[in-house]
């Protein structure tokens, strides 16, 4: 039956109208709206049918009072890579699009002595149902403890397991980087440069460990002159490129810890007349839009950050997403990264 959109007397339908039509109490209607588990399927179906027939729209302020929470989930981050934040946000929005939830994004300053105090004030004021913590602040145990203390659900995102499965969505950065570097070694590369991510980021450490692990398995070590610091920004890739490609014996391949730095390094190669991949192979990490917007298209590791956003929301608020929203697949909440081969990798000169 089509929604009437009007209650008795032509007025907007109320919760009392729903109760009368369903033949239940107002309190029972409220329990259905707020997804209480203590109801029979028959009662729930009768109330949902009445809501649909009347076109009743629950009052969000009243629901917030009932829950003592606003219908918000918060995304807290201090990440220099805007594309990472955006892709994760898209995943969360994919997951909650058919729910009553809204996403609130809050940047924080992990270097501030007042970070925990600022986050506490934010959470107490906004009263979200839960919070998702992006790296590197996700690695802060005190921040997770703060959420616990305030009764705010939380999920931490990481490049390795940093909490139990119900509180963590992670990837396999170390293993997949090692796989990518073994691919370079199989091509015949032996002088391979490395551009690191920011100090203090678990992702940067995991990717460096994977890189060194692959070299060690081949009986090689990372030469000091082939190591370049970075911060996940394009300009850091330029600086690394100037340093590595100006060596008297430059590398024949470089692994960059994200795509932005790989793009910066590739621009330096072009400016120096170094052919990619004929004279220099380059690999990035993320599989961001940047990877296919540069030439040649960048071989990279695809970090499933959008899928991690979906899984984070499903793990954080499954009771608000409906029966079909349960996370599928590995209950450990580890989402695998994969290597994507494009046009920026080839055998070294002379092979």
Q: Tokens 């028959």 map to which residue? A: 42
Asked whether residue 351 is assigned to any structural domain, the reply reads no
State the pLDDT at residue 144.
97
CA distance 222 to 212: 7
Q: Give the separation between CA 335 and CA 304, rounded to whole angstroms.
A: 7
Q: Which of 84, 81, 83, 123 is nearest to 104 (CA)?
A: 123
**Could you tell me if residue 251 is inside a domain?**
yes
Report angle CA 10, 13, 19 to the nearest 5 degrees: 130
Assigned domain for 208 exists: yes
| Angle at CA of residue 145, ends 141 and 86, nearest 5° | 65
Cα(5)–Cα(301) distance, integer angstroms: 51
> What integer pLDDT is reported at residue 39 of this predicted model?
84
Element (H, E) at 139: none
- Considering the domain architecture, whether residues 128 and 93 belong to the same structural domain is answered as yes
pLDDT of res. 1: 42
Q: Which string of DSSP letters, residue by residue, matches 184-210?
A: HHHHT--SEEEE---TT-HHHHHHHHH
Residues 257 and 145 grouped into a single domain? no
Using alpha carbons, select from 274, 271, 191, 196 the residue that is nearest to residue 240.
Answer: 196
Rg (CA), the chain: 25
* Domain shared by 71 and 42, yes or no: no
The helix/strand/coil state of 46 is helix
Q: Do 326 and 268 belong together in one domain?
A: no
Assess whether 243 and 269 both reside in one domain: yes
pLDDT at 330: 57
Closest CA to 254 of 294, 225, 218: 225
Q: Angle 41-54/15-22 helices, nearest 10 degrees?
A: 130
Place of tokens 């994507």: 340
For residue 231, report the phi and psi dihedrals to the nearest 5 degrees.
-145, 20
d(CA 63, CA 105): 22
Containing structural domain, residue 188: 173-304
- CATH code where residue 193 lies: 3.40.50.2300
Domain membership flag for residue 344: no
List per-block mean pLDDT (blocks of 10 residues) for the chain, which spans 351 residues.
52 85 87 75 89 77 55 92 91 93 95 96 94 95 96 96 94 97 98 96 96 98 98 96 98 98 98 98 96 97 96 94 62 91 95 73
Our count of domains for the chain comes to 3
What does the pLDDT read at residue 15? 83
Domain match, 191 and 167 both: no
Closest by Cα among 192, 54, 78 to 140: 78
Instruction: Please indicate, yes or no, whether residues 219 and 331 belong to a single structural domain of this protein.
Output: no
Asked, for residue 347, whether it belongs to a domain, the answer is: no
In degrees rounded to 5, what are phi and psi of residue 237?
-65, -40
pLDDT at 2: 44
Strand segments, DSSP code E, in the chain are 72-77, 102-107, 130-133, 153-158, 168-170, 192-195, 227-228, 253-256, 281-286, 299-302, 338-340
Quick one: 96 and 159 in the same domain? yes
- 292 and 321 part of one domain: no
The reply to whether 231 and 116 lie within a common domain is: no
Whether 202 and 105 share a structural domain: no
Residue 345 pLDDT: 98
Q: How many CB atoms sit inside 10 A of residue 251's CB?
A: 23
> What are the tens digits of pLDDT across the range 165-204?
999 999 999 999 999 999 999 999 999 999 999 998 999 9
Burial code of 173-203, b = ≥16 C-beta within 10 A, e = fewer?
bbebbbbbbbbbbebebebbbbbbbbeebbb
Q: Using DSSP, how many helices (H) and how many strands (E) does the chain show? A: 13, 11
Decide if 327 is inside a domain. Answer: yes
Q: Is residue 346 part of a domain?
A: no
- Domain annotation covers residue 343: no
What phi, psi does 300 have (nearest 5°)?
-155, 170
Run of H or E including 88: helix 82-96
Say if residue 185 is in the same domain as residue 205: yes
């Amino acid at each position: 039956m089509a929604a009437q959109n009007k209650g008795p007397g032509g007025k907007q339908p109320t919760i009392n109208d729903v109760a009368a039509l369903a033949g239940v109490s107002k309190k029972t209607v409220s329990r259905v709206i707020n997804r209480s588990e203590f109801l029979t399927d028959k009662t729930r179906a009768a109330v949902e049918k009445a809501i649909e027939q009347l076109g009743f729209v629950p009052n969000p302020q009243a629901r917030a009072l009932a829950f003592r929470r606003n219908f918000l989930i918060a995304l807290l981050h201090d990440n220099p890579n805007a594309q990472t934040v955006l892709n994760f946000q898209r995943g969360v929005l994919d997951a909650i699009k058919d729910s009553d939830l809204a996403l609130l994004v809050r940047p924080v300053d992990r270097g501030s002595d007042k970070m925990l105090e600022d986050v506490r004030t934010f959470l107490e004021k906004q009263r979200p149902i839960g919070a998702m913590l992006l790296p590197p602040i996700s690695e802060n145990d005190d921040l997770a403890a703060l959420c616990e203390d305030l009764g705010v659900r939380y999920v931490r995102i990481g490049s390795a397991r940093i909490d139990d499965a119900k509180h963590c969505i992670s990837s396999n950065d170390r293993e997949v980087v090692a796989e990518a570097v073994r691919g370079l070694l199989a091509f015949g590369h032996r002088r391979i440069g490395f551009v690191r991510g920011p100090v203090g980021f678990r992702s940067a450490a995991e990717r460096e460990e994977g890189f060194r692990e692959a070299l060690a398995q081949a009986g090689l070590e990372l030469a000091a002159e082939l190591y370049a610091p970075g911060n996940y920004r394009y300009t850091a890739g330029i600086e690394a490129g100037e340093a590595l490609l100006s060596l008297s014996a430059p590398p024949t391949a470089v692994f960059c810890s994200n795509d932005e730095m790989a793009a910066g390094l590739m621009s330096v190669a072009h400016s120096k007349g170094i052919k990619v991949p004929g004279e220099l192979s380059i690999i990035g990490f993320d599989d961001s839009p940047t990877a296919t917007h540069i030439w040649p298209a960048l071989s990279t590791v695809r970090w499933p950050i959008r899928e991690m956003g979906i899984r984070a929301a499903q793990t954080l608020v499954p009771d608000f997403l409906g029966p079909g929203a349960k996370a599928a697949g590995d209950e450990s909440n580890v989402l695998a990264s994969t290597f994507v081969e494009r046009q920026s990798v080839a055998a070294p000169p002379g092979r």
